[in-house]
Each structure stands twice: as structure tokens, then as C-alpha cells.
Chain A
């Protein structure tokens, strides 16, 4: 194949990929929009579930507050410092959960065969799965996280520099990207796990492994999947410690605080690859 043909193929593929992304975003918007409209038909019910979501997640932070009524410091950290860590994590998770929280139903769709109905529509499957039953009430969790984060930013007594100020939204967005990657990878895994029992095994064994780590006060969300903990420890902790001006664990160099966008991009790319592999295997086995 000569170079110009190859280049043209490359361009066609790139254009095709771009068109797919556009179609995906459009389908996501259409489907989630439909769910939001249907949710808004019952405003009171929506307000109640969203508030419930807010209240339940707020209990986590209430537990931390309770602990701080007995002690001044927890693992050497003050309440406002822990609030920054907690708030950033919760907000990140809240964004990813709001956007992609429905993806964990993929396994059910594979088992009952309803995934096939998504494959005959003119839109990328991942967008349809992610937007299905779009749960706006999940805003409750996000709002709760954002409150705590806001509180931390107000009460924290640190020397703010422009870089530190920029670091906060960057940290939250990259954290959301990493959680999103975990959601997608988790869904992709459900293509491979042939029956529910195996999925369950993965979670129970995975859960056991998780519990071997020392329980941290804000771990409740993290417990939702063993996989969350490693990338997050790397990405949320380190930029937060940079903001707080605290020493890094394991003597990591300062620049690692700026690695989150890279880590998020790599993890998202890997998750996308896992999704494609999973979908391709589904389309060749049909199970």
C-alpha cells in the first residue's frame, strides 16, 4: 500500500472516529434528556430521592465530624484538611457516578439479551448504556461532596498560590476521569464474565482484598470497588497534599502532583480499549 493511500485511510479513520464520538455525545444527550424530562414529571419524588441521596452520603462526613469532636487530629490531619480530601474525592466520584453510574447494569443487559436491542440502533452502544436511566437524583451525592469541598476551601488556612488554586478543579476533574475509566472498565469486564456467579466472585474476592487495607474514615465510596483505590491514592492524594503543602508519601518527586491529567487520559484510553474488546467479543460470541 503506498503512502498516500495509507494517509488517506488514516484520515478517513480519524474522521470516522470523530463522527462516532459526535454521534455518541448526541445519543447520550438525547437519552439522558428523555430521562430527565420523565423525572421532572414527578418533581416532588425527584426532590425527595435527590435529598435522600444527599443525606445518605452526608452521613459519611457526619461520622468524620463526630470523630473530630473527640480528637483534634486524625492521622496528623486537621478537620479542614480531611474535608479537602473527602470533598474532592466525593465530588469526583459524584461527577463520574452521575454521568456513567448506569453502566453497571451492563451485565444484566448481556444476560437477558437486551443489549442486542441497543446494537440495532444508529448510536454507539456505550453512550446508550451510560445514558440509560440517567439518574439526576445522583446529583445529591455530587452536591454533598461539593459542599464539603467548599467548606474546606473556605476554612483551610494555607498560603494559596495561583498554581494551588488551579490544582483544585484540575484534581476534581481528573479524579472524575479516573472514576469514569473505572466505571467503563468495570462494565467491559461484565462482557467477559459469563455468568453472574463469576461476577459476584470477582466482587467478593476483590472486596476481601480491599478490606485487608486499613479502613480509612472516608473509604465508604471507595469500598464500592477494589479497583478504585490504587489510581485514586495516586491521583487524588498527591495533588491534595501539594495543595496542603504536606510531604508526599514514598518520597515521590514534586512533579507527580501534576501527573493526574496524564494518568486520567491513560486510564480512560485503557478503559476504552477494554470496552471495545469486550463489545467485540460479545459480537463474536453473542453471550
Chain B
């Protein structure tokens, strides 16, 4: 039944994949101008079985387009693409049994029906063996805390509850790979933590390959050893998260509240970027630990409070661009 397993250890393979859209713009009453948009412009990467990869980039970078090609929703304009040895756009329904997809912005559940109805339907539609279905459902219900929600119509669930419901729905048929498109978007801190914890355990215990797109670098930090950055349809970076910070020379920010207003602090390996009354902002390399810096500041200055801010993806990528154009 699994002849595709011999295809190699790489579950996902992309080789020079392109997606070009023709966009028509209205320029007059009937006249239209046509121009090409290269949403994905020659992307190549592979993901081995069992890996958990973050796929990040600013809005409109081509993340969702890539996911849509990997799931078979969109047909690539060029290049070669294989998921579990299957060409997604040609054998969409065959692939569907082997992948799970969660769209953060829209649900795959039946909106007006109780959550459990969607699961029962998945059971039949994916032809999941009864014992398997029960086992998977029980596990998801327990770990994602869905017991109270099963009889609630999906439209009445909160965003965080719905997201957990969606993740469970994507996992009932034991997919080999799980795609998550912005799984934590709009969630509160507790819901985010629950979702992340579940995904980490899933990957560790079931060995499910996970590819997730996100805006939130914390998702990547807590979940993925490997991160890919895409912008303008091209892969800008593929490697460990730490390397991304180096590549982008990104900086974290230490915000300190002092007892009183002081001139800009002088501390080694950090520079003051902003002063506002007794509050000062110090930038320091993201790859370095904040602890020695905090110690140094506390030693010399009357510090009342502090917080550390992570760099956001947009800033990191902007920095990567700047470096690229100057070198």
C-alpha cells in the first residue's frame, strides 16, 4: 500500500517551483491591462520525514501560495513538486488522505454543525478504521481539551477553541505531513501556548512532519529547529533559527525603567536607541544572551524594571535585504 515510501527520506521535495499569476487591472470602461505576478519564483527545498519546519515571510511573500501548491489546491506554473512521492496538483484527492491542513484564517469544519459532526464525517470520508478513529479522537480531545466543545456548533466556538478543533480534524486520519497556515494568528497567549505545546508533542511522539507558516517568531523559536524565509517569491534563507538572526544581524531590545531620568547609558555590546524620560531602549545582538547585559546595567545604574523585546520577522528580513544590497 505504501510504494511511495521508497521515494526517499524526503517527504516534501520542491525543485524550481514557480507560480505566475496573470493579474488584470481595469484601466478603463472595458480596457484591461494584463501583467504577470511571480508569486513564487523558483523555490527549491526538501523536508525530510519527521522534521518540523517554519516557513516565514511578510504578507504577500508567497507563503500561502506555496502551501496551496503543496496541498494540490493550486497548480504550479513550473518546476517539480512532490509530497510523499505524489504530484499534488495531479492527484489531489489521493494526496488528501495523506496530508492534514489547517488554515488559520478559515475553518475546514462545518460551520453550523456541532464539532463532533465534522469529526464523524471525516471518519467516513477519509475511511478511517473505527479503532484508529476512536484512538485519535480520544487523544486529540484529551490533549486539545475539546471534551466540553464537541456538541457546540462550530460558529459558537471562540477563535482559540475553533483552532484546536481544526487541528484535531486535520489529524484524525494520521496524516504523514501537517500543514499549518498561521495556526496562532489572532489567538490569546494561553491558546497560543496550548497549540504550540500540542504541536511539539505531536511531532515528538508521532513523528508527523510539520510545515507551518507564521508571523510570530515565537512560534518558530518554540517549535522549529529549521526555518525558511521567503520574500518576493524567493527563498531568502534556509537553516537554523539562530543562523537567521546572524544572517540578518538582528537585534533584540532591552527596555529598562530607571529610578530617574539619566543621560543615555553606556554599556558594552549594547547601544541606546531611544530615551523617553526614565525609560531607555538598548539594542543588542539577538544571538547573545540578555542576562549578562542586564547584570551590567543593574550593576551600574538604578534599574527599577526591565523587559526584552524580540525582533519581528519584518525587521529581520528588512535587515537581510539591506545587507544583501550593500554587499
Contacts and interface: CB of A to CB of B under 8 A. Distances in A.
Interface residues of A, number: 27
B43 interface: no
Nearest to A284: B75
A285 interface: yes
A120 B92 CA distance: 7
B117 A116 contact: no
B99 A120 contact: yes
B73 A286 contact: yes
Contacts of A285: 21-22
Interface residues of B, number: 33
B124 A114 contact: no
B74 A283 contact: yes
Interface string B107-126: 11010111001001100111
Given A30-B124, A283-B73, A120 B96 contact: yes
Interface in A76-127: 112-114, 116-117, 119-124
Contacts of A31: 121
Contact of A284 (B74, B96, B124, B126): B74
Contact of A283 (B89, B107, B124): B89
Please classify the interface of chain A as helix (H, G, I), strand (E, B), loop, or mixed, using the class held by over half of its residues: helix
Nearest to A120: B101
A120 B125 CA distance: 12
B198 interface: no
Contacts of B106: 112-114, 116-117
B107 A117 contact: yes
B250 interface: no
Interface in A271-287: 280, 283-287
A284 B73 CA distance: 9
- Which of A23, A280, A283, A285 is packed against the most chain B CB atoms within 10 Å? A283
Contacts of A35: 113
B93 interface: yes
Contacts of A123: 93, 125
Nearest to B111: A114
B65 A119 contact: no
Contact of A119 (B72, B94, B114, B124): B72
A34 B75 contact: no
A39 to B, nearest CB: 10
Given A116-B68, A120-B99, A30 B121 contact: yes
B102 to A, nearest CB: 10
Contact of B71 (A23, A113, A119): A119
B319 interface: no
Nearest to B19: A286
Nearest to A123: B125
B103 A30 contact: no
A30 B125 contact: yes
B120 A122 contact: no
A27 B124 CA distance: 9
Contacts of A117: 101, 103, 106-108
A30 B92 CA distance: 20
B96 A34 contact: no
Contacts of B71: 119-120
B93 A34 contact: no
Contacts of B105: 113
Contacts of B271: none
B82 interface: no
Contact of B93 (A30, A38, A114, A122): A122
Given A23-B93, A116-B103, A34 B108 contact: no
Interface of B: 21-22, 65, 68, 71-75, 77, 89, 92-94, 96-97, 99, 101, 103, 105-108, 110, 112-114, 117, 120-121, 124-126
24 contacts: A23-B93, A30-B121, A31-B121, A34-B117, A34-B121, A38-B112, A113-B105, A116-B106, A119-B73, A119-B92, A120-B96, A120-B101, A121-B93, A121-B108, A121-B125, A122-B94, A122-B126, A124-B93, A283-B73, A283-B89, A284-B77, A285-B21, A286-B65, A287-B21
Given A35-B113, A283-B73, 20 more contacts: A27-B125, A30-B121, A34-B110, A34-B113, A34-B120, A34-B121, A37-B117, A116-B68, A116-B106, A117-B106, A120-B72, A121-B93, A121-B125, A122-B93, A122-B96, A123-B93, A283-B75, A283-B89, A284-B75, A286-B21
